[in-house]
Amino acid sequence: MVQVGDVSIGSGKPKICASITETDRKSIIAAADILLQKRVDIIEWRIDYYREAGHWDMVLETLQRLKMSLYGRPLLVTFRTKEEGGSQEIETAAYRELLDHIAQSGLVDMIDVEIFKDFTYEELAGDRTPEVQERFENLKQWIESLRQRVVVVGSYHNFDRTPEDAELKDRLQIIDESGVDIPKMAVMPANRLDVMRLMMFTLQMAEQMDKPLITMSMSPTGVISRICGQLVGSCVTFGTAGKASAPGQIPANLLSTFLKTLA
């Protein structure tokens, strides 16, 4: 279990997270006001949608306003890169510098880190070269520095397919090895079998891991995976109060009703 404010992630029903995807400060704050009226446990600011994301002073001012607006509701900040389904491209140095600034601001509870941003699956899953291992150790050290200030969600998103179970397991172990607090994997199903396969994989891994785990099968085909997290061991599910940040998300209030019904 990971405690974030009053929210216990990994205990009880899956926690509902809803994303703010607006592009300007005024709309971001307005979206936060709407989310506070919904049955949402965690609010995610998808900073890659923010058109001023490249200007730290603007990001800081928006963070300050956003934090005041949330009245203690846990805030997760995510810069989803274009490679993993986000709206902006960003160089690694700028990505890390931005997340460092955000963590050091004291205004954020959780930060999402893309574990495979600078690595291919083949580089990390097989026999690593000394150069690859050195880069991975650098990643681990950076994540540990973030963890001194915030909870770190280590993520992997695949908008094209659901990898085979062996690859899913390798990727999850790599995310775990990186030292994050909460591993997260979101994948795209080709069919219902892919959805059921991910759910069974999640059940098996959740029973073996000593960390909370987040998984989801995207698209309308995968909606069931967003609802049945308590059954299989996924501890957070993502809903909407406006524009969806990923395929297959459903309204947060409806998601809350489903979770209560299944509890």
What digits encode the pLDDT tens for the residues 203-234?
999 999 999 999 999 988 998 988 888 889 99
Rounded mean pLDDT of 41-69? 95
β-strands 182-187, 15-20 pairing: unpaired
Rounded mean pLDDT of 71-83? 94
Taking 60 as the threshold, does the pLDDT of residue 245 lie above it? no
The band of 113, judged by pLDDT with boundaries at 50, 70 and 90, is very high
* Residues whose CB is less than 8 angstroms from the CB of residue 229 and which lie 6 or more positions away in sequence, other chains included: 14, 235, 236, 237, 259
Residues annotated as catalytic (active site), given as ranges: 157, 184
Weakest mean pLDDT among 38-42, 129-133, 135-139 = 38-42
Label residue 248 left, alpha or beta by phi (over 0 means left) and psi (-120 to 50 means alpha).
left
What digits encode the pLDDT tens for the residues 85-104?
898 999 999 999 999 999 99
The band of 254, judged by pLDDT with boundaries at 50, 70 and 90, is confident
Higher pLDDT, 21 or 242: 21
**72-92: b or e for each residue (b if 16 or more CB lie within 10 Å)?**
ebbbbbbbbbeebbbbeebee
The band of 263, judged by pLDDT with boundaries at 50, 70 and 90, is low
Pair 87, 132: CB distance under 8 Å: no
- 224, with CB counted inside 10 A (0-12, 13-18, 19+), is middle
This model's pTM is above 0.85? yes
% the chain with pLDDT above 70? 95
